[in-house]
Chains A and B, each alone.
Chain A
Amino acid sequence: MSNHDDQSDAAGRADEFLQVFKKGAEFTQDLLKENERLRFRVVKLEETLKEKGHEVAVESPDALELKNKIIALEQEKEAILDQIRVVEEENQNFANRYVEIEEENNMLANLYIASYQLHSTLDFKEVLKIILEIVINLIGAEEFGVLLLDEKTNHLEPVACEGLVKSELPSIAVGKGIIGESVESGENYFIDSMEGYERDFEKPIVCIPLKIKEHVIGVITIYKLLTQKDEFNDVDYELFTLLAGHAATAVFSSRMYSDSERKLSTIQGFIDLLTK
């Protein structure tokens, strides 16, 4: 699977970064040791000279060579430390990106399963059941309804719900109130703040129009989230829109299939009557 390959590739690159980082750290350690050793040697040489009654000659060729070497090593050490800092920063960015990609990967996998389930049947009732399951398990809603557009009356009629009594859900005119406006515009609606919210069937916390391209066929209205879900994250917003598209197509095709099945059965009845 490509997601799995991407993940393996990303993990491989993370390992490479770590290897580079480790090698840099080891090299720095070696340099520091070498530096220490040379400093120690300078001190020793100075002591030896003093013991022999000579003044330490700053300009002596040995001392100068050693000092120059120390300066060069110090500069090299600083350059490597800078490089390590850059690699560390890159490594951190990479780790953050890895987590982001992993989350996105999970979201896509969940979306794949959800859409696969939605399109696995042409039974209208089963499609509605799958929509309910998805909204509970993927979005984390506790109380919500699914309303479909009756094109004759231009009203949204409740067809399924969770945590609520279906008969209590009102019929909503397109263009009227939060739900009606969301359907008319085709735009998702999210309440500004859920703090202090009390359930009002005409003022949900979320409205997700079910759209096939620009054609709205219904809406999902959410009134309460699960206790442990106190807010929506970025992935939820993407999920809402993507799921709404798949749910709309599944509802539309299953309803068309049911209608055509019914018509076929009626026509078959007439033919049977005529031919008997």
Chain B
Amino acid sequence: MSGYKVLVVEDSPTMRQLIVFALKRIRGFQIVEANDGVDGLKKLSAEKFDLILTDINMPIMDGLKLVSMVRNDPNYKTTPIIVITTEGATEDRERALALGANEYITKPIQTMKILETVKKLMSV
């Protein structure tokens, strides 16, 4: 298990650092950060990622739009996507999953839940 590339798309620098810090506990993860959906798409087209974690509420392009666009890209048809958001309503969860997200985690940040989900999706 090594060399997995992970993209973290989150507009809040604090939240982004919290996620990155948690993911660094899994050995072999190479983590790249993006500030919003557009920045995320740019990075996704520049190199291939094995896992994407994204927020929903972000400026310029939100996370749901990003999920939808990523799923329309033949290179990312099966890449696991985890949505981490403050939106806790069932309809938000269903919408994200319908658009192609694999997992939906709500804030406040739950480090153990994030790590468990990542390990499950990546089989590490």
A binds B: yes
Asked if A117 and B17 sit within 8 Å, CB to CB, the answer is: yes
Nearest chain A CB to B86's CB is how many angstroms away? 6
Once A227-B89, A228-B88 are accepted as A-B contacts, the answer to whether A109 and B14 lie under 8 Å apart by CB is no
Asked if B25 and A226 sit within 8 Å, CB to CB, the answer is: no
Asked if B88 and A226 sit within 8 Å, CB to CB, the answer is: yes
Residues of chain A from 110 to 166 with CB closer than 8 A to chain B in the complex: 110, 112-114, 116-117, 130, 133-134, 136-140, 142
Residue in A103, A116, A117, A229 whose CB lies within 8 Å of B108: A229
Asked if B22 and A116 sit within 8 Å, CB to CB, the answer is: no
Interface residues in B, total, Cβ within 8 A? 18
Asked if B108 and A138 sit within 8 Å, CB to CB, the answer is: yes
Nearest chain A CB to B54's CB is how many angstroms away? 14
Asked if A226 and B107 sit within 8 Å, CB to CB, the answer is: yes
Q: What is the bound-complex CA distance between A229 and B86, given in angstroms?
A: 10
A96: chain B residues at CB < 8 Å are none
B107: chain A residues at CB < 8 Å are 136-137, 140, 226
Asked if A110 and B18 sit within 8 Å, CB to CB, the answer is: yes
Q: Across the two chains, which residue of chain A brings its CB closest to B89?
A: A227
| Of listed B15, B18, B25, residue having the most chain A CB within 10 A | B18
Residues of chain B from 15 to 29 with CB closer than 8 A to chain A in the complex: 15, 17-18, 21-22, 25
A187 CB within 8 Å of chain B: no
Residue in A4, A106, A136, A229 whose CB lies within 8 Å of B111: A106
A102 CB within 8 Å of chain B: yes
Asked if A106 and B14 sit within 8 Å, CB to CB, the answer is: no
| Of listed B14, B17, B25, residue having the most chain A CB within 10 A | B14
Asked if A133 and B15 sit within 8 Å, CB to CB, the answer is: yes
Asked if B13 and A117 sit within 8 Å, CB to CB, the answer is: yes
Nearest chain B CB to A95's CB is how many angstroms away? 14
Asked if B86 and A109 sit within 8 Å, CB to CB, the answer is: no
Q: What is the bound-complex CA distance between A116 and B15, given in angstroms?
A: 12
Q: Mark B55-66, 1 if CB is under 8 A from A, else 0.
A: 000000000000
Nearest chain A CB to B16's CB is how many angstroms away? 10
Q: What is the bound-complex CA distance between A97 and B22, given in angstroms?
A: 20
B111: chain A residues at CB < 8 Å are 106, 109-110
Asked if A137 and B88 sit within 8 Å, CB to CB, the answer is: no
B106 CB within 8 Å of chain A: yes
Q: Mark B84-121, 1 if CB is under 8 A from A, else 0.
A: 00101100000000000000001111011000000000
A109: chain B residues at CB < 8 Å are 21-22, 111
A228: chain B residues at CB < 8 Å are 88, 106
Nearest chain B CB to A143's CB is how many angstroms away? 12
B68 CB within 8 Å of chain A: no
Asked if A140 and B17 sit within 8 Å, CB to CB, the answer is: no
Given A103-B112, A137-B107, A140-B107, 17 more A-B residue pairs with CB atoms under 8 Å apart are A106-B112, A109-B22, A110-B109, A112-B21, A113-B21, A114-B14, A114-B18, A117-B14, A133-B12, A136-B107, A136-B108, A137-B15, A137-B86, A137-B108, A140-B108, A226-B106, A228-B106
21 A–B contacts from the bound complex (CB under 8 Å): A102-B112, A106-B22, A106-B112, A110-B18, A113-B17, A113-B18, A113-B21, A114-B18, A117-B17, A130-B14, A133-B12, A133-B13, A136-B12, A136-B86, A137-B18, A138-B18, A138-B108, A138-B109, A139-B108, A226-B106, A228-B88
Q: B residues touching A (Cβ–Cβ < 8 Å)? A: 12-15, 17-18, 21-22, 25, 86, 88-89, 106-109, 111-112
